[in-house]
Amino acid sequence: MNLDSVEKIAEAVLYEGYMLYPYRASAVKNQQRWNFGVLAPQAYSEKQNGTEGAIMRTECLFRCGPCTRLSVKVRFLQTVDRSVEKMQEPDGRVEFVDKLEVDGRMYIPWQEAREREIQVLTGYAASIPSRHLQSIEFAAGSEVEPLREAGSIAGVLVREWKALSGAVDLTVSHVQGDISKVTVSISNLTAGAQQEGRAEALRHSFLSTHTILHLEGGEFISLLDPPLDLKSFAEECSNVGTWPVLAGEAGERNTMLSSPIILYDYPQIAPESPGSLFDGTEIDEILSLRILTMTDAEKEEMRLSDERTREILDRTESMQPEQFMKLHGILRELRPAMKEMP
């Protein structure tokens, strides 16, 4: 199986909506980020009557044998608050500032993200009905990055993140014959943020949460196009806040990607795409051309906001004409229309 293709899709899911065009911190579209796969603290979710969920559940079917092994990986982002502190001379005190220029580059406060990953289960006899519980624990922390100019420290970037707590509840149950069902429930059990607004709740949330399920010696059943004799069982699978699809090369059935974004079986990254643009339903050619039409001031703010958007700008400005031509459009394939059963 081509795990690389699965990881590329999972990476796109992880950063979907991370920052939207025009990729500036001041843009209205970026005043409320983190809209995909958010699992808020349970207390905050209850206060909001469930409009911000605290639980994500994946259910899907698979065909197994006595040697089938199942592994499950949960991935999400955690917000990291980045502040800027200026070093004061001669006493060495520091003060928080809205921006600081060091060695020709400007730095501003921003909210970054850190990738989190939990390998829930490996080497598990999937043909045996059972239950597995695993905790999610990430401690609060901080990092300091010195900003140097002419050999001296002119300021620092301070990155801070909150503690996260949760659980993954995985069960395997028998359906019929050699068919079993796996259920993966992810819960955010982080304390606090109940009385705060959404901005504070996001600091205690799992963001862009998704699950990758992999089988050795078995195969998953498509929930979008199940065999006729398994259709009723597929329809009984209850997925909350996520949609599992077959992933990898077309025809492979040993990997499921359960994503907060609705996808078809076997989603692929277009080979013509020069890289992720983070923008929902992105069209590479249009976004790339619009980036080039931004003013110098807008581009500078884009560079200041985030290292990942800085990379988007650098990549777009260095694209050659032949690369733009490849983005203009291509007919992949024509698929026959599905016929309704009488």
Residue with tokens 């990881």: 7
Helical segments of the chain, H only: 3-14, 42-47, 198-202, 231-236, 284-292, 296-305, 307-317, 321-326
**Within 10 A of 112 (CB to CB), how many other CB atoms are there?**
18
10 Å CB burial of residue 270 (0-12, 13-18, 19+) is exposed
Same domain? For 247 and 301 the reply is: no
Range with lowest mean pLDDT among 2-6, 12-16, 79-83, 294-298? 2-6
Q: Is residue 70 part of a domain?
A: yes
Residues 125, 3 share a domain: no
Structural domain contains residue 191:
yes
User: Per-residue confidence at 90, pLDDT binned at 50, 70, 90?
Assistant: low
Residues 48 and 175 in one domain: yes
Last-in-domain residue among 230, 246, 269: 269
| Whether residue 90 is found in the same domain as residue 209 | yes
The pLDDT of residue 67 is 85
**Which pLDDT value is given to residue 331?**
55
Residues 243 and 279 in one domain: no
Q: Is the pLDDT of residue 22 over 70?
A: yes
Q: What is the mean pLDDT of residues 211-231?
A: 95
Q: Please indicate, yes or no, whether the overall pTM of this predicted structure exceeds 0.85.
A: yes
Q: Mean pLDDT score of the chain, rounded to an integer?
A: 87
Which domain, by its residues, includes 92?
36-269
Specify if 341 maps to a domain.
no
Q: Is residue 260 part of a domain?
A: yes
Q: Judge whether residue 16 has pLDDT over 60.
A: yes
Banded pLDDT at 301 (limits 50, 70, 90): confident
185 close to 178: Cβ distance less than 8 angstroms: no
* Total domains present in the chain: 2
Q: Does 50 share its domain with 169?
A: yes
Q: Computed from CA positions of residues 259, 262, 267, 271, in that sequence, does the dihedral angle turn out positive or negative?
A: negative
Q: 149 and 165 share a domain?
A: yes
Residue-by-residue DSSP string for 191-232 = ---SSS-HHHHHTTSBEEEEEEEEEES-EE--SSS--GGGHH
Cα–Cα dist 187/209, whole Å: 11
**Are 7 and 119 found together in one domain?**
no
Residue 8 lies in a domain: yes
The DSSP code sequence of 135-192 is EEEE--EEEEEEEEETTEEEEEEEEEE--EEEEEEEEEEEEETTEEEEEEEEEE----
pLDDT level of residue 124 (50, 70, 90 thresholds): low
What's the chain's Rg over C-alpha atoms?
23
Give the mean pLDDT of 167-177: 94
Angle at CA 164, nearest 5°, toward 117 and 10? 25
How do residues 32-48 score in pLDDT, each as one tens digit? Answer: 788 889 999 998 998 88
Asked whether residue 265 falls in the same domain as residue 275, the answer is no
Indicate whether 295 belongs to any domain: yes
| 127 shares its domain with 172 | yes
Q: Could you say which of 201, 234, 269 is where a domain stops?
A: 269
Q: Are residues 24 and 80 in the same domain?
A: no
| Spatial distance between the Cα atoms of 277 and 33, rounded to a whole number of angstroms | 15
How does pLDDT run across 239-254, given as a tens digit for each residue?
999 999 999 988 999 9
The verdict on 6 and 121 lying in the same domain is no
pLDDT at position 198: 86
Question: Is 210 among the domain residues?
Answer: yes
Asked if the structure places residue 335 within a domain, the reply is no
